[in-house]
Amino acid sequence: MTYRALDTRYDAMKYRRSGRSGLKLPAISLGLWQNFGGSRDYPSAFEILSTAFDHGITHFDLANNYGPPPGAAEELFGDVMARDFRPYRDELIISSKAGYGMWPGPYGEFGSRKNLLASADQSLKRLGLDYVDIFYSHRYDPNTPLEETMGALAHLQRQGKALYVGVSNYPREATREAHRILAAMGVTLTIHQPSYSILNRWIEEDGTIDACGELGVGVIPYSPLAQGVLSGKYSKGKDGASRAGRAGSTVGTRWLAPKVLAAVDALAKVAKARKQTMSQLALAWVLRRSEITSALIGVRTIEQLKDCLGALDNLEFTDKELKAIDAATGDARLDSHPPLSLPD
């Protein structure tokens, strides 16, 4: 049966401009980092992706190494594009990235021109596309001149392989310098993808979010639910914490510290008073700032997806609520500057 998107897909979603660019993204975007690897079958993947699009999520975020194994998420999304999404290509924003380890040897990671250009070509092949809408430098490389890394991004845009370019996991000064270098080449730094949540506020602490606002760079945070911790599923009395500790879990032990889980329990009271779920509270909190273009979520089920979409029903906070959130988190915050490996 041929897929046909719902005619009502744009009725409820909110769209926000990325910085001062012409690019608009849905307030909630869907990432394929953890849940669309080689073990995910086509029907279940397509059910989530098509439901997302039917609810106005037009932006799907990938990277060359998303899986497992690396490349699997792009291959799966490429199948979806070929079989079902192809008629809607011009309604979709598809992004990819390069910078984390992808293949052996000295050229398979970080920010060299060699790595970024080879990675982009490989990603386009896996996706079955002529171009991606956004291509990111996935992490700041302190050992490669930014001129080289930004030059590679500019080259991809001029080739038509990326319509927009961005950075991910870049601290404040590297973000400013990347913006300056690209501007000198006549290219706009359109978007920044950092980690950001109620429990991880490093972009506030080091001023990265303020710099993006000043420069007109959009911000699309990943892990707004802190690897699911802010959904409440690992709270006291639930069996999630024991599952998270098992081998292969993507949730680091620091996120399951007693003070963190106590903070989550306190946040649950704020969510209840707002008539929101924990996930909805966490997403609304991230989206409260004008610099934020979109919140990037990852889901395993349709139920999780629909729960997250419910955040859009209440994005306003009172000063009292914000103070209660700050008091609840206190010393449980895990602010950390951009890592040189994938966050846990």
The two counts, helices (H) then strands (E), for the chain are: 12, 10
Over range 256-261, report the average pLDDT.
Answer: 91
Name every residue whose Cβ is closer than 8 Å to that of residue 109 and which is 6 or more positions away in sequence: 99, 100, 101, 102, 115
pLDDT in tens, 225-243: 998 999 998 876 555 544 4
The pTM (predicted TM-score) of the whole model is 0.94
Q: Where are the domains positioned within the chain?
A: 15-228+278-314
The sign of the torsion formed by the CA atoms of 117, 120, 126, 128 equals negative
The helix (H) or strand (E) run that includes residue 219 is: strand 218-219
pLDDT exceeds cutoff 80 at 165: yes
Predicted pLDDT at 253: 80
Average pLDDT in the chain: 93
Greatest Cα-to-Cα distance within the chain, rounded to the nearest angstrom: 55
CATH topology assigned to domain 15-228+278-314: TIM Barrel (3.20.20)
